Amino acid sequence: MSSQFSRTEYQQLKQQLNEHAYHYYVLDEPQIADAQYDQLYQQLLRIEQQHPDWVTQDSPTQRVADQPLAKFTQIKHAQPMLSLGNVFSAEELTDFVQRISKLLEQAGESSNSLSFSAEPKLDGLAVSIRYEHGHLIQAATRGDGSTGEDITANIKTIQSIPLVLRGDTYPDVLEVRGEVVMPRDGFARYNQWALSHDEKVFANPRNAAAGSLRQLDPKKTAQRPLAFYAYSVGVIEPRHEFELHSEVLAWIKSLGLPVNHLNQVVQGEQGCAKFYQSIGDQRATLNFDIDGVVYKVDKLQYQDILGFVTKAPRWATAHKFPAEEATTVVENIDVQVGRTGSITPVARLQAVNVGGVNVTNATLHNEDEIRRKDVRVGDTVFVRRAGDVIPEVVKVVLAKRPADTQPFMMPDHCPVCDSVLLKLEGEAVLRCPAGLSCDAQLKESIKHFASRKGMDIEGLGDKLVEQLVDSGLVNSPADLYHLSEVKVAGLARMAQKSAQNLLFGIEQSKTTTLARFIYSLGIREVGEATALTLANHLKNLTDIMASDQESLQQLPDIGAVVAARITQYFAVPENQQVIAELLAAGINWPAVTEPSAGALLLVDKVVVLTGKLSVFTRADAKKHLQQLGAKVTSSVSAKTDYVLAGENAGSKLTKAQELNIPVVDEAWLQAMLN
């Protein structure tokens, strides 16, 4: 194919691609679909193949250098990269703000209603990127603050960092400082890939970002999902006059650099404290790790007055979250038997405070994990607690391993019922096959059966379940419905009143719904959503029990694996027996009717939530939609039926409009519910 493109057209196409990248990465509002971008990119590549002499360093095709480096060279920062002081409590925040106010007053400034530019503190690697005449020419790690390493080739592989600045009002020289991170979703994907390709698995996103930037081969860095957020500037030539730090951030964003969208200008100590709380609340759901927030006095003139203590500015500080990782010693390794017989090794730890919570146990997941990490009794280990999830052992500090440790061996018999453990094909976990005749599985099954989302038996807590099983009063979920007050009151720490309460709770639970009943059975892979699907579509228990795999797979969101689990469960005579006994005990539910009477107006509709909701919380909106029969997913595609958009909806809204998908608001959901 001969090219019909002029050099000017080539340059326009290149600029067009850079502009689309800016809308995608910086504004988070893509203007074209990914596939269209790819087409333009391929076109650019074709032109460049025909005219290699046209290619310049700012082409999006030039992000990955051919040659690996022999080593990193040192770069002296034209302006030192600062560090930050820390505060760890509300009291220390008060001190920080008061110290600033006092210094400003001494300098003759009024410190009433001091504004701060507040931002999340990303847990990545600080870098400085230098642009000359709009072109990215150099990038360096922070190093010791005055000298870092030249990582230019690696930085250029990060798609969200512009190779050329936007517009034509950029300064001759601009140094941008910011943090390189690996987003959590990318980190999970990368580690999964690494595991199956014998590549290094990283302990956390920060290490992954650091390891990726220190790759001598930029081709490898290019394959790592890195992101960058700018938070300040170094040298600017010629000097540029700004009044506020927040203006500087808006300016670098307008030049095409990503700035975190959670940044906010807040007023005084109270504004800072509120921001800290709000970011802390969102922490678990963010797509990147953060270890606190940063406050910077917004007014640059005040920053000048306040100055520095050694390398840290007086006008800024990091307000740290309590650490979520800590080291401690493994005192023992036990194995736990789960509801479905899964055998999970658990490290019993010397108690340690991790992010404000006292941790004494941490999961080791399964045999493969424990072997990979080679955790042994006596080892010093890193323990991590992320959000609400169970604490896990991240890695062993080998330098501290005592001389006489032994590798941990998984048992070959169930520690509770002594059955021989099995490993099913394609599964990483060992299982105890004994079902409800294994006391551990019986206890966990009953806890699940009685749980809030299941039969919701008021007054039946975990401890009581264990007592009921240990005393022999309960050998299956159905036995709960045959308990007598006298027997329950005879258990340790049980008075007559609490025995009555329990029996009342059990009695109350008899009236339920088909979906809850199915969920309570604890069939593997059958959670709330699948139970609801089975109930809504098949409408009665007999049909659910009699369905074969093929017909189950016709139902929405039920694939081969789930269908197999369901038929396998109902094929087991003991399970049929338990169900018959439960029904005989009087468990009942109203008939599942056709989706009329406003009940299931959205049956099988796929809805995506986006933007900030004001009437409902996200969780509630999701629940309501599911109650109406809808399936709530997170990304917009041709399969989406509705996009429910709140305030400031971004790329998902744009995509919905592109795909002509109906966009609705919260009032629509309210109307549905009425």
Please identify every residue annotated as catalytic.
121
Buried b (16+ CB within 10 A) or exposed e, 619-646: eebbebbbebbbbbeeebeeebebbbbb
Give min distance, CB of 379 to ligand JCF, in A.
31
Residue with smaller CB distance to ligand JCF, 126 or 375: 126
Binding part of the chain for ligand JCF, among 118-126, 330-338, 369-377, 462-470 by CB under 6 A, reads: 118-126
Spell out the alpha helix ranges (H) of 407-495: 439-450, 462-470, 485-489
Binding part of the chain for ligand JCF, among 117-125, 146-154, 217-225, 456-464 by CB under 6 A, reads: 117-125
Note whether 283 binds ligand JCF by CB under 6 A.
Answer: no
Among 204, 232, 246, 328, which residue interacts with ligand JCF (rule: CB under 6 A)?
232
Among 77, 121, 376, 384, which residue interacts with ligand JCF (rule: CB under 6 A)?
121
Give min distance, CB of 181 to ligand JCF, in A.
9
Give min distance, CB of 249 to ligand JCF, in A.
9
Among 44, 84, 161, 244, which residue interacts with ligand JCF (rule: CB under 6 A)?
84
Distance between CA 580 and CA 565 in Å, rounded? 20
Number of CB atoms found within 10 A of residue 665's CB: 16
Amino acid in position 378: G
Residue with smaller CB distance to ligand JCF, 145 or 459: 145
531: nearest Cα among 654, 415, 427, 449: 449
Distance between CA 537 and CA 524 in Å, rounded? 19
CB of 611 closer than 8 Å to CB of 646: yes
Residue with smaller CB distance to ligand JCF, 119 or 269: 119
Distance between CA 664 and CA 607 in Å, rounded? 10
Contacts (CB under 6 A) with ligand JCF, residues 300-359 = 316
Binding part of the chain for ligand JCF, among 23-31, 121-129, 558-566, 605-613 by CB under 6 A, reads: 121-129
Give min distance, CB of 31 to ligand JCF, in A.
29
Which residues have C-beta within 8 Å of that of residue 34, sequence separation ≥ 6?
none
Note whether 257 binds ligand JCF by CB under 6 A.
Answer: no
291 phi and psi angles, rounded to 5 deg? -120, 15
Give min distance, CB of 47 to ligand JCF, in A.
39
Residue with smaller CB distance to ligand JCF, 179 or 367: 179
The C-alpha angle with vertex 278 and arms to 275 and 284, in degrees rounded to 5, equals 130
Give min distance, CB of 292 to ligand JCF, in A.
9
Three-state SS string over 300-322 comes to HHHHHHHCEECCEECCEEEEECC
Residue with smaller CB distance to ligand JCF, 181 or 455: 181
Sheet strands (E) in 195-309: 227-237, 264-267, 290-297, 308-309
CA distances from 496 to 69, 461, 469, 474, 509 (A): 77, 17, 19, 19, 20
CB of 182 closer than 8 Å to CB of 227: yes
Give min distance, CB of 518 to ligand JCF, in A.
47
Binding part of the chain for ligand JCF, among 49-57, 116-124, 470-478, 632-640 by CB under 6 A, reads: 116-124
Residue with smaller CB distance to ligand JCF, 294 or 621: 294
Binding part of the chain for ligand JCF, among 119-127, 319-327, 481-489, 546-554 by CB under 6 A, reads: 119-127
- Give me the residue whose beta carbon is nearest to ligand JCF: 231
Note whether 235 binds ligand JCF by CB under 6 A.
Answer: no
Sheet strands (E) in 522-633: 606-610, 631-633
Note whether 82 binds ligand JCF by CB under 6 A.
Answer: yes
Residues that bind ligand JCF (CB under 6 A): 82, 84, 119, 121-122, 126, 179, 231-232, 294, 316
